[in-house]
Amino acid sequence: MGLTETFVTFQLGLSRMHHLFALLCLVAVVYKITVLLAKRRAYFRSIEAFPGPKGHWLFGHVLEFKQDGTDLEKIVTWGQEYPYAFPLWFGPFVCFLNIHHPDYVKTILTSTEPKDDFAYRFIESWIGEGLLVSKGQKWFRHRRLLTPGFHYDVLKPYVKLMSDSAKTMLDKWESYANSNESFELFEHVSLMTLDSILKCAFRNVLFNVCLHSLLSHFSGTNTYIKAVYELSDLINLRFRTFPYHNDLIFYLSPHGYRHRKACKVAHSHTAEVIRKRKEVLKEEKQLDRIQAKRNLDFLDILLFARDEKQQGLSDEDLRAEVDTFMFEGHDTTASGISFILYSLACHPEHQKICREEILEALHGKDTMEWEDLSKIPYTTMCIKESLRLYPPVPGISRNTTKPMTFFDGRTLPAGCHVGTSVYGIHRNAAVWENPDVFDPLRFLPENVSKRSPHAFVPFAAGPRNCIGQTFAMNEMKVVIALTLKRYQLIEDPTWKPKIIPRLVLRSLNGIHIKIKPVEM
């Protein structure tokens, strides 16, 4: 009898615990909803001075973006209706003020406001707190330590390595030149820029991967390369899949599992390349002694970087910067080069002028050298015009940590998300005459001087501009010059790119052209 009473008492106690737990969960849910609603009301108050397109009460403007290649044009169209800036809602609780005019861009990009912690947090589990996402004193210290890695003395020897990677890719293209068939550019160019960054920045046995191997199946020692592509795809997927914005939902999903697996591969390879380089350099204590033996690379600079307290980067910080440069150094450049080649294929009259200029600059050489980079001004203008029409990074976002007043008197309070639409600025008809027309002469010095310096921002601007922009421009010049010297680029009118904003600018249906050998 006593046992029965004890069991009943236990059951009643368990039942009460369940009720208590359910009550606590209910209280937590009500509290969370209350907080989110208060946050929503605060957002509405903060953007009341900025009218914009009407959004759905639950989904915001998410349903307006069809992922069909027209989304960026929608941003441009809204920009014509709402000058300077307008709010965009991503669901019921996340709002970005989208800015698309140089005078507004100047205010945000010349400040030291940090990167947005909503948009950039999805990439942090891969690249850590490198220069792309770090903020405050950590960002300032890392920027100062890494700047010597982009000095022209370090960049100069890279030109030959970039030429070697480009020539390997162009050799692979001979079959397309003889077949008169169109082919997709982005994959080829992406593998080439990845090969180039491995040669230039991380000259190491582990990463000494030749392009011939890269163009075959990903396997064996190329697991790192496969992981990089897997992570890029998964982060793009998470950005455009609203439920995956929740960390728990993404973690429990099959895509979350694949993300963690790819991160593990990428991080293990990065840790290994740092370990091996440290082993090679353990007897060397000064950079000038290494430089006497060979050219320095990015990893050398990272390993020997010291601040005023003679403190270097931790292993975690080293890995973050290596992962950041690996991604930023190849994917954005691949997007830029692919769209430049496409633009020149669509405009043979400009392609012809570029080719004549390149042939004169090279004087029969089959490679580019440092001194040749300054001898192709018209080609450089064509590169910039393509970067205007097809910016590799179509948008940038920041958080406001203090109230920000724009030139027209409107103010945004602290705690807001600000999205800079690089694509919207570059296609703004109030800034650029005939903005959809490919016209390299826009970048003649006399024309540039008439515009705001913030009208053209493919590498951002201000204190948080792209530290690797000279590296990227050099690689674009090398690849475009060697390609035009060897092949004539021909548009395939049956393949028009359907451009979409991802981590970098891409095309849903690829970027296709035809080529044929240049008749000398």
- For the chain, state the CA radius of gyration: 26
DSSP 3-state percent helix, strand, coil across the chain (nearest 5): 60, 10, 30
Non-local (6+) Cβ contacts of 122 within 8 A are 235, 238, 239
Of the candidates 287, 280, 113, 303, which has an alpha carbon nearest to the alpha carbon of residue 201?
303
Give the helix/strand (H/E) hosting 487: strand 487-491
Sheet holding 85-89, edge to edge: 85-89, 95-99, 417-421, 395-399
d(C-alpha 372, C-alpha 289), whole Å: 29
Tell whether 466 is in a known binding site.
Answer: yes
Nearest 5 degrees, angle CA 29-CA 237-CA 82?
80
Among 116, 108, 272, which Cα is nearest to 206's? 272
Long-range pairs for 241-247: beta carbons < 8 A, 24 or more residues apart: 242/59, 242/62, 242/90, 242/91, 245/91, 245/94
Between CA 43 and CA 50, with CA 44 as vertex, the angle to 5 degrees is: 105
Provide the residue count of the chain: 520
C-alpha of 250 from chain center: 22
Query: 265: exposed, middle or buried (C-beta count within 10 Å: 0-12, 13-18, 19+)?
Result: middle
What is the amino acid identity at position 489? L
Q: Which positions make up the binding site for heme?
A: 466
Q: Which positions make up the binding site?
A: 466
